[in-house]
Amino acid sequence: MTPLLQVQDLTVRFPTGSAIAARLRGRPAPGVTAVDGISLDVSRGDSLGIVGESGCGKSTLAKALVGLVPVTSGSITFDGSAMTERRDRATQRRIQMVFQDPSSSLNPSRTIGQTLLELLSVHEMVPKQLRETRARELLALVELPASLLSAYPKRLSGGQRQRVGIARALALEPDVLIADESVAALDVSVQASVLNLMTRLRADLGLTLLFISHDLAVVRHISERTIVMYLGRVVEDRPTEDLFDDPRHPYSSALLAAAPRLGTKKEPGSSALAGEPPAFGTRVAGCGFSARCPRAESICREVDPRLTGPSSCHQAACHFAWPGAYVGDR
Amino acid sequence: MDATMSPALLDVQDLRVRLKAGTTEIAPVDGVTFSVARGEALGIVGESGSGKSLTLKAILGLLPPGSKLDGSLRFSVSADDVEEVGPDQMRGRGVSMIFQEPMTALNPTMRVGRLVAEGARGIGLSRRDAKRRSVELLDAVGVPNARERSRMWPHELSGGLRQRVMIAAALSTEPALLLCDEPTTALDVTVQDQILGPLAQLRRDLDMAMVFVTHDLAVIAEVCDRIAVMYAGRIVELGSTQDVLAAPQHPYTAALLASAPSFQKGSGRLEGIGGQPPDPRAFPPGCRFAPRCRLVRDDCHTAAHQLTMVGSHETACVHPELLLPEVAK
């Protein structure tokens, strides 16, 4: 079976200054590489978690998949056909996104009903006379009362707004739902109900879920497979259970060690990771993580490790991830 | 800590904050009583709107204009000093505060070294000593190349470094009590860990007490000795962190714990808490958690709010016995 979503060598580069001035001086155009040659296969119905520190490129990857940022090089193939920069409405609607801050992603001057009805009419999802009914159905789907159709976003609580954000994405009956830090701004009790909702919707509607979060416990809860990103690259790609029990990349280990957790007593500051990710655009020779890595040896500063492993679903980009085997340069 | 031996560093009795909301008056903090011993770390946890941040601001006298403060708030400056003073005399000397968003809390027109030295000058250090002290403090909170960084402006630093600068500035007055309002909420877990580490170390070294407000129970479990759980303007459970987290005696605490996705277990359904926290304009009578409580009984709706000792710690729940079979499960 071919994967639903295939990403090949995807690179997203943002210009940071004048390309003309740079060319006149005979230098390459200045820019930062937010996503640096990522390849990824996602099968239909998968639940993929994407974790990493701020600035690792996880949100840019999501935006590139939805078509919100231009792709510099590489390709995105969706359901067998290439996703170009310009997508027609029918393609657009198949990958939808739920954003972090529902209060700034909903139009404050439109009622929830107006927001949903506009979507349904622009994308011609249902015949005109059925739109109202469909909007009610959508609210019921995200466990909100139909009375909210006439409400403005400011009257809603944070959890309700996030549910509207989900309803809005689902209005277009997407195949893939990308949740970018969608529960980060919510209280734990509300977060729990939104997570339960997403789990249920995924099962009921057969959605493919890409869940981006910096909260490892949340990712552990909702995702079956997790990728760890660092400096725009995937450094580990494993089934969630395995990643959390036995991380292979030292960066994954450090992330897991740094997270406070209930139930096990941990001293603050005990994670080995020092410093912060280097600023963008400062690509060093060898492994990008070597400067902060507690296990770094001379090979790490010279040879960039390839993302590799015993099988396509167990991969890590570290020279020492898989003892004795699968070592190679990029 | 034995409260009868010497007066507690901070003693808060029946604290009530009243604000004007349109034509009515609301009390988002409604009768909060707790004390903090010298060198102790107390965590206050609760959902948004529970009044936890406002409690912290009341301690430091930073309430919005037009608000009224009832109840008593007393510091005892040193162990043998029985004289008790209010927040105005303590601010800037005995008590410091760090905030969630360091970019808005740091003066953008001052180099970070001067921001930190300012407090050291305030407690009587000479210009030269204050400058040396600021570099020492920046180094102690884990700012790499502290000497060079002290000449930088706040906007030149990353979020994690800014937060460290704010902690260094807060510590420059050698406070006996540090108030922390969600200081690591906006940070990555790795950076959070790098900040909580030095903070815990410095707290031990300086024998400094701390009140740590957060919505993250796991962070409290890591850095606090005692925990106060707030709901709708009141403390509903108070006890040692270990006891409260291992055997909660209030259904709200139990529900919060059940809502948090855990590292250990695989996926399943999270408990969550139905409904929403009550609006301060219309707090329900009796136990304020009753309308959302799964174990609610008739008398909950009329019960007076009072913390009583159950097992190892205090709870405001009138039916803690109903929780026992739940916890055992």
* pLDDT (tens digit per residue) in A46-64: 999 999 988 889 999 999 9
Q: Per-residue confidence at B325, pLDDT binned at 50, 70, 90?
A: low
- pLDDT score, position A259: 86
Average of per-residue pLDDT across B288-315? 92
Average pLDDT of A132-139? 94
Minimal CA separation from B124 to chain A, in Å: 32
Grade residue B1 by pLDDT with cuts at 50, 70 and 90.
Answer: very low
Q: Looking at the predicted structure, is the pLDDT value of residue B84 above 90?
A: no
Contact between residue A99 and residue A168 where contact means Cβ atoms under 8 Å apart: no
SS3 category, A238:
strand
A327 pLDDT more than 60: no
d(CA B85, nearest CA chain A) in Å? 33
pLDDT for residue B23: 86
**Residues B310, B244 share a domain:** yes
pLDDT band for B91, please (50, 70, 90 cuts): confident
How near does any CA of chain B get to the CA of A205, in Å? 18
- The answer to whether the CB of A306 falls within 8 A of the CB of A317 is yes
Cβ pairs bridging A and B (under 8 Å): 140
Residue with tokens 């993250």: B216
d(CA A209, CA A212): 10
Using pLDDT thresholds of 50, 70 and 90, give the confidence band for residue A21. Answer: confident
- Is A255 in Cβ contact with B264 (below 8 Å)? no
Q: How far apart are CA B30 and CA B18, in angstroms?
A: 8
pLDDT at residue number A98: 93
Centroid of chain to Cα B210: 8
User: Which residues does chain B have within 8 Å of residue A264's beta carbon, measured at their own beta carbons?
Assistant: 263
CB atoms A199 and B269 under 8 Å: yes
Residue B262 in any domain: the answer is: yes
| pLDDT band at B86; cut points 50, 70, 90 | low
Q: Does B218 reside within a domain?
A: yes
Average pLDDT, stretch A132-142? 93
Q: Whole-angstrom Cα distance, residue A305 to residue A112?
A: 49
DSSP state of B287: S
Helix (H, G, I), strand (E, B) or coil at B16: strand
State the burial class of residue A137 (Cβ atoms within 10 Å of its Cβ: 0-12, 13-18, 19+). middle
How far is the alpha carbon of A218 from chain B, nearest alpha carbon, in Å? 6
Looking at the DSSP assignment, which residues form a beta bridge with residue A315? A237
pLDDT band at residue B151 under the 50/70/90 scheme:
very high
Q: Which of B153, B173, B193 is the last residue of a domain?
A: B173
Q: Would the CB atoms of B222 and A158 count as touching at under 8 Å?
A: no
User: B110 and B197, same structural domain?
Assistant: no
Among A160, A189, A202, A213, the residue to mutate for chain B (most B Cβ within 10 A): A189
Residue A21: CB atoms within 10 A of its CB come to 11
By Cβ distance, the residue of B263, B270, B273 closest to A244 is: B263
Q: Are residue B88 and residue B183 in the same domain, yes or no?
A: yes
Closest-CA distance, A234 to chain B, in angstroms, reads 18
d(CA B38, CA B52): 21
Q: Is the pLDDT of residue B117 over 50?
A: yes
Verify whether the Cβ–Cβ distance B272 to A189 is below 8 Å.
Answer: yes
pTM of the model: 0.86
Is pLDDT above 80 for B6?
no
Does residue B4 belong to any structural domain of this protein? no
d(CA B221, CA B98): 19
> Does residue A329 surpass a pLDDT of 50?
no
Same domain flag for B15 and B131: no
Answer whether B224's CB lies under 8 Å from B42's CB. yes
**Do B198 and B270 have their domain in common?**
yes
* pLDDT computed for residue B265 by the predictor: 60
Facing A262 at nearest CB: one of B48, B191, B262: B262
User: What average pLDDT is seen over chain B?
Assistant: 87
Q: Lowest mean pLDDT: which of A34-48, A60-74, A147-161, A251-265?
A: A251-265
Which candidate, B200, B275, B81, B28, places its Cα nearest to that of A190? B275
The alpha carbon of residue B256 is apart from the nearest alpha carbon of chain A, in Å, by: 6
Which chain B residues have a beta carbon less than 8 Å from that of A189? 47, 255-256, 259, 272-273
Q: For residue B87, how many other CB atoms are within 10 A of its CB?
A: 20
Same domain, B279 and B205: yes
Between chains, do B262 and A217 touch, taking CB under 8 Å as contact?
Answer: yes
Please state the ipTM of this predicted complex.
Answer: 0.81
pLDDT band for position B87 (cuts 50, 70, 90): low
| CA atoms lying within 13 Å on the CB side of residue B328 | 5
Q: Is residue B311 part of a domain?
A: yes
Rounded to a whole number of angstroms, the distance from the CA of B165 to the nearest CA of chain A is 15
The residue from B146, B173, B200 where one domain ends is: B173
A1: pLDDT confidence band, cut at 50, 70 and 90? low
Which pLDDT does position B5 carry in this prediction? 57
Tell me the residue range of the domain where B158 lies.
103-173
CB pair distance less than 8 Å for A259 and B263: yes
How far is the CA of B151 from the CAs of A317, B154, B156, in angstroms?
Answer: 38, 10, 10
pLDDT at B36: 94
In the prediction, which pLDDT does A180 show? 92
Nearest to A292 by CA among A40, A38, A56, A60: A56
| The Cα angle at residue A290 between residues A284 and A293, in degrees rounded to 5 | 155
Residues B246 and B161 in one domain: no
Q: What is the mean pLDDT of residues B116-145?
A: 92
Above 70 in pLDDT, residue B214? yes
Residues B146, B122 within the same domain: yes
**pLDDT(B329) > 50:** no
Instruction: Give pLDDT, residue A311.
Output: 87
Q: Please, what is the Cα angle at B237 between B236 and B240, to 5 degrees?
A: 160
pLDDT tens profile A246-284? 999 999 999 998 888 877 777 777 765 776 777 655 667
Share of chain A above pLDDT 90, in %: 52
Determine the pLDDT at residue B37: 92
- Least CA distance to B142: which residue of chain A? A275
Is B2 part of a structural domain of the chain? no
The answer to whether residue B1 is domain-embedded is: no
Any domain includes B150: yes
B257 with A53: Cβ contact below 8 A: no
> Domain of B229: which CATH number?
3.40.50.300
B47 to chain A: which residues are within 8 Å by CB? 187-190
pLDDT averaged over chain A? 87
**B67 occurs within a structural domain:** yes
Interchain CB distance below 8 Å, B272 and A193: yes
- The verdict on B147 and B90 lying in the same domain is no
- Examine the domain organization and report whether B117 and B264 are in the same domain: no
The per-residue DSSP string of A157-209 comes to -HHHHHHHHHHHHHTT--SEEEEESTTTTS-HHHHHHHHHHHHHHHHHHT-EE
What is the count of structural domains for chain B?
2
What are the beta bridge partners of residue A5?
A: A42, A78
- For residue B147, the SS3 value is helix
Tell me, what's the pLDDT at B3?
43
Picking from B173, B200, B225, the residue at the C-terminal end of a domain is B173
* pLDDT higher than 60, residue B267: no
**Residue B299 reports pLDDT greater than 50:** yes
Confidence of residue B113 (pLDDT cuts 50, 70, 90): very high
Instruction: Say if residue B199 is in the same domain as residue B169.
Output: no
- DSSP 8-state class, residue B156: G
* Count of CA atoms in the C-beta half-sphere (13 A) of B217: 29
Instruction: Inform me whether the pLDDT recorded for A330 exceeds 50.
Output: no
- Across the interface, of B215, B221, B245, the residue whose CB is closest to A187 is B215
pLDDT-wise least confident of A206-220, B125-139, B315-329: B315-329
d(CA A182, CA A64): 17
**Which band of pLDDT confidence, cut at 50, 70 and 90, is reported for residue B134?**
very high
pLDDT of residue B2: 45
Pair B270, B309 in one domain: yes
Tell me what the mean pLDDT of segment B144-154 comes to. Answer: 92
Residue B204 pLDDT greater than 50, yes or no: yes
Q: Name B314's bridge partners.
A: B238, B309
Taking residues B208-235, what's their average pLDDT?
94
Are A131 and A193 in contact by the 8 Å Cβ rule? The answer is no
> What pLDDT, on the 0 to 100 scale, is given for residue B77?
67
Cβ-nearest to B193 among A196, A263, A269: A269
